[in-house]
Structure 1
Amino acid sequence: MMKQLFFTLFLVSLYLIQSTIEAKLLKFKRKSSKGKQLPAYVQCSAPIRYYFQIGLNDKYLITKAMYNIQCETFLKFKEEKNLINDTGINFFVNSEEDKVKLSYVDKTPTIVNLTENTYHNKVLAGFYFGYALGLIPEIARKDRNRKVKVFKQNILPKYRKFYKKKKAYPKSYYATRFDFSSIMFAKPFFGSKSRDKRTYKLKTYSDYNKQIKEFNEFSFNDYKRLNILYCKDECKNSIRCENFGYHGDNCDSCKCFFPFRGRDCRSYVLRSKECGKEFATKAYPKPRQKIFTDLHGECYYIIKANNPKKKVKLTIKKFNTTKIYSYDLIIKYRKDKGAEGLKIERNITELKFPPLSRSVIITYTSYDWDNELVLEYQEVKRFRKIKSH
């Protein structure tokens, strides 16, 4: 009797130990799976292998994007003649719908299966390719609520994954801010249940609405993000890139955005004599004005707060033009200057920008002597909510 009791207790103990081990293993597997936020095939040390089932004409936009990525980042690509069964990307074509199945393990490839129309659409082809490389939709950023309001009820179920917040994504990804020019910023009707139902709306910066329709390529920050995600340790002992620049495809120089240039992005692009000698201006507590008339050429101006602890408040007091295509005016007022600025495409009276950073970059190109631009600027202590624009 005692032997039978001990044997029963032994079996129960063994079962409990086994159950505990299995539970821990399952928990570990789930944790590991959850931690794998990036595709296994995207690496800085080896080319990304890919295979195309589709014809030459269908793959043109994807291969062009690959070429640009190789020029702007450390990532490389290698085409395979046969179907990939392990690590890599297989591109297929179908006649019904767009599907992307990401793989986070070495033994399974990612499947990008798009319609022929999508492969010929620069915006959608770029979006799905960026997604396959680990870029997340801008509307899936964990900080998206500051910029957009998502209407979940208007989104088709199969598209909801593109709108779901990526809360556990690598922190390094957020070194770049929300970018309206990103190829990953889906259009307002992407995945909508109906053509007249938006999937989101902008909370602020309503002037960006028209711009969003014009962006159809990988942005400066898109390339920068790819390097941050996969190649951040490539240039540890190299020069530091200033002014939001980054090391592109080598460690000897930096990739810069206009108007910065040079090996470390500390220099400036040469300006036309029409722009005047002064391009850098200090902002003080007392408002000052800058008037641009009789201007013909490509110019830029940088306004910085005199006190590094304060921010620049900018107002376009007046912008007047009689010819639509006679100017180009872009204001970069947010902290991340690598993100696209606000493009002014209309006559304006009293347009205020919120003071979000200690500097503002104005790029102004005028081809008509009659164009007139009046700016007012000052430094302020902190952000004060201004009516959205």
Structure 2
Amino acid sequence: MFSNWKLICLIIFIKFVNIWTIENISEVQTNNSNNDAELKYLLHEIKFHSAKKFGIFSDSVIDEGAEEMKKATFNDGTEASINRKVSDYLFENDIVLNLDQANEILKEVKSGKKIGKRQAQPGLRFLWTKKRINYQFSSNEYDWKLLIRKALKHIEEETCMRFSENNGDIDKLQYFRGSGCWSNVGRQGGRQQVSIGYGCESMGIIAHETLHALGLWHEQSRYDRDDFVKIDWLKIFRGTQSNFEKRTPLTSDNMDMPYDLGSVMHYGSKAFSTDWSSYSIITKDSKYQQTIGQRRGISFKDAKMVNLRYCMDICRKQLNCKNGGYTDPNNCLQCRCPTGYSGTFCDKVAKSNRKECKGGELKANGKWQTIKSPPLSAGIDCHWRITAPADKKIELKFEKINFPCADVCDSYVEVKHNLDKIPTGARICCPLTKNSVITKEVGTDVLLNFNGDNSVQNGYYGFTLNYRILTADEQIVDEIIETTTQISTTTTTKNTLGRWSTWGLWSTCSHKCGGCGTRVRVRACYPEGSECEGSFEGEESCNPQVCTKVDAKKNQRCDGRLVMPCSLMEKLDFGTTKSDRTSNDVVHLPINSRNLKIIKEGERRIKRTKRFVDGDKQMQEESICEKKFSYNCPTNLLTINVDWKKINDNYQIGSCCPGYKPDYDNNKCILI
């Protein structure tokens, strides 16, 4: 009887617990629903009150601007482009706010007060309580998980933070395939989602969202933003002004760190831009224009922010580090140095990774001296430091600059010429105005970092730089270099300097053997009508090997192709060979007066507009077409002709081209 009562009591208790749990889950769900609605309202209020400052008083205008932005298709390589379609639910395009944050930011926007510094989330409740953070995946995609692990490893190498997969802690990051790339700012408690959706698969974007989760805000939201960049309010979508609001210590803390244009937390130069060809963010010093928006990885300053926040209790003794370095929490006997510096105390120039760099220490004097970089290649990393007496300034003039020019430099020469070496220097990959001058402050050195992205193509020669010290009686001239115009105190002239596209694919070699073969590739100068230094065409020798009997046998046929604009292809008349190989894909081009005229006209137009054939990529985009043809080979002169095939054609049989002789020991043809 007693056991039955125990069973009855247990059943009643279980039912009571189930009822209590259901009621509380329902209450939590209701609260979450209420929170979502309130948060959406607060986001709308932030956007509305920010837009009011620019004369926008209608919700419909804000909604129309959001719809217009969703239709934009250009990609600047940052989360801002990827998140256009989900921006209604995000702050600054990739941040999920909690209610407290949204309320405080709304107060800032309404008050309009800019009273302090902002970047890292203040308040102990938003800090992670452990240096080892639990994380998990909600998707089982191997490559996707591998890339996230790589980004977390990158943060571990630069900071004291560690990330442990599925370690059981309640507070954790959950990476999932959401719509776009976004995160909370700071620890929220419990499971905290970080969306790494399709299009977000880059180490820099993953690091960007993870640094948000660690408590960092966007760089361009700092109170001192306007000292370094200018927002072109006329170039952004209507109703998106709130994404450029500056805030106060109420919501964040800069931790006395300088503004960093190379931070992975900085917007790109075309964030929220209505036009792919226009910058919405313009750097005050135009040498930094291609520095902002990088997503290669966290900067030295980004890492220092995290280490100052979480890692200062690791090393008992703080070293006397130079040039903005600090005691490395991963090695307390060593300083962690800004890029380009090395040594225990960051007082030496970093070692270059290749002998051809010829980097190291240089001393400036009153005469011009020259630094010429080696040709740009994948992974190259060279460093130079130019020093001068403490009371002197150093003048720099770039003689040549030749890199893949892009909105954000992936391969570049970085110039650190300011006193503070913590921020990223000016990363230069595009032509500057002629005789451009960069001067440094008194009492500091100039650091040059020459870097080639791992995927860069060969064919760029890097840079040539002249330097000297200025004597007391010389006046320093700083040329102001704007993005589209060259400005002086007396005149304004249009900047006609252009930039080269990347090289196209190599053509097939003109000869299969014999030593005289060549192949070419081309690139384009843009924008149209501008001028670029150097040639649009590159050429190199190929197939130096001695011809064999197989190479020179009779009746051998070679395949070629004509590559030209599709509009030109449609106007040409093609005939076919009468042979077993005849098909729509293997043709001869009749050489008649009509075709010759059209070809010459097309060549002139191509040269005039400097069109660029980027291998098969543009063919896939239907702007460039190809037509295959066959011809007898080997031959010294290829003539495209219409003729009947002759049996027993005679072909040149020789081991080398005219003017070359065979070197049988090395199986090469050499020039006589």
Do both proteins adopt the same fold according to a TM-score greater than 0.5, normalized to the shorter chain? Answer: yes
Q: Distance in 2 between matches of 1:333 and 1:368?
A: 24
1:91 aligns with 2:171: no
Deviation at 1:60, TM superposition (A): 2.9
Q: Which sections of structure 2, spanning at least 5 residues, go unmatched?
A: 1-99, 105-119, 376-381, 405-410, 452-458, 483-672
Go from structure 1 to structure 2 and tell me whether the alpha carbon gap of 1:357 and 1:198 turns closer, same or farther (over 3 Å shift): farther
Q: Distance in 2 between matches of 1:256 and 1:371?
A: 25
1:230 aligns with 2:315: no
Go from structure 1 to structure 2 and tell me whether the alpha carbon gap of 1:292 and 1:365 turns closer, same or farther (over 3 Å shift): farther
Q: Which secondary structure state, in structure 1, belongs to the residue aligned with residue 174 of structure 2?
A: strand
1:353 aligns with 2:438: yes
RMSD: 4.3
1:129 aligns with 2:210: yes
Q: Which secondary structure state, in structure 2, belongs to the residue aligned with residue 350 of structure 1?
A: coil
Matched ranges for 1:141-220 at <5 A = 141-151=222-232, 154=236, 160=242, 163-168=244-249, 169-172=252-255, 174-175=256-257, 177-190=258-271, 192=272, 194-196=274-276, 200-212=280-292, 215-220=295-300
2:326 counterpart letter in structure 1: Y
Q: Which secondary structure state, in structure 2, belongs to the residue aligned with residue 251 of structure 1?
A: strand
Q: Distance in 2 between matches of 1:334 and 1:113?
A: 37
Q: Distance in 2 between matches of 1:116 and 1:368?
A: 33
Go from structure 1 to structure 2 and tell me whether the alpha carbon gap of 1:155 and 1:75 turns closer, same or farther (over 3 Å shift): farther
2:370 counterpart letter in structure 1: F
Map Cα deviations across residues 214-272 of structure 1 (whole Å, 9 max, x no partner): 65211222212210122234335232222222233131212224542222222344576
1:363 counterpart letter in structure 2: L
Match of 2:159 in 1: 73
Match of 1:20 in 2: none
Go from structure 1 to structure 2 and tell me whether the alpha carbon gap of 1:252 and 1:92 turns closer, same or farther (over 3 Å shift): same
Match of 2:393 in 1: 312
1:117 aligns with 2:183: no
CA contact (8 A) 2:131 2:160 kept: no
CA contact (8 A) 2:180 2:198 kept: no
Q: Which sections of structure 1, spanning at least 5 residues, go unmatched?
A: 1-29, 283-287
1:150 counterpart letter in structure 2: I
Go from structure 1 to structure 2 and tell me whether the alpha carbon gap of 1:115 and 1:156 turns closer, same or farther (over 3 Å shift): farther
2:195 counterpart letter in structure 1: N
Match of 2:370 in 1: 292
1:244 aligns with 2:324: yes
Identical counterparts, % of pairs? 18
Q: Distance in 2 between matches of 1:71 and 1:41?
A: 23
Q: Distance in 2 between matches of 1:159 and 1:139?
A: 13
Provide the aligned length of Structure 1 versus Structure 2. 339
Q: Greater CA deviation, 228-237 or 152-161? A: 152-161
Match of 2:470 in 1: 378
CA contact (8 A) 1:329 1:363 kept: yes
Map Cα deviations across residues 46-86 of structure 1 (whole Å, 9 max, x no partner): 3112222123332333221211221221111122277x7x5
Q: Which secondary structure state, in structure 2, belongs to the residue aligned with residue 253 of structure 1?
A: strand
1:90 counterpart letter in structure 2: Q
Match of 1:341 in 2: 425
CA contact (8 A) 1:123 1:183 kept: yes
Q: Distance in 2 between matches of 1:148 and 1:72?
A: 27
1:216 counterpart letter in structure 2: R
Q: Distance in 2 between matches of 1:242 and 1:353?
A: 23
Match of 2:150 in 1: 64
Map Cα deviations across residues 156-212 of structure 1 (whole Å, 9 max, x no partner): 868945x3324213342x32x22232211221233x274548673224232333344
Rg larger for: 2
Q: Distance in 1 between matches of 2:446 and 2:161?
A: 30
Q: Distance in 1 between matches of 2:202 and 2:374?
A: 36
Go from structure 1 to structure 2 and tell me whether the alpha carbon gap of 1:92 and 1:160 turns closer, same or farther (over 3 Å shift): farther
Residue of structure 2 aligned with 1:100, choices 183, 194, 198: 183
Q: Distance in 2 between matches of 1:347 and 1:44?
A: 48
The structure whose RCO (Cα within 8 Å, separation 6+) is larger is: 1
Q: Which secondary structure state, in structure 2, belongs to the residue aligned with residue 227 of structure 1?
A: helix
In the superposition, the TM-score normalised over structure 2's length comes to 0.43
Q: Distance in 1 between matches of 2:461 and 2:277?
A: 43
In the superposition, the TM-score normalised over structure 1's length comes to 0.69
Go from structure 1 to structure 2 and tell me whether the alpha carbon gap of 1:370 and 1:109 turns closer, same or farther (over 3 Å shift): closer
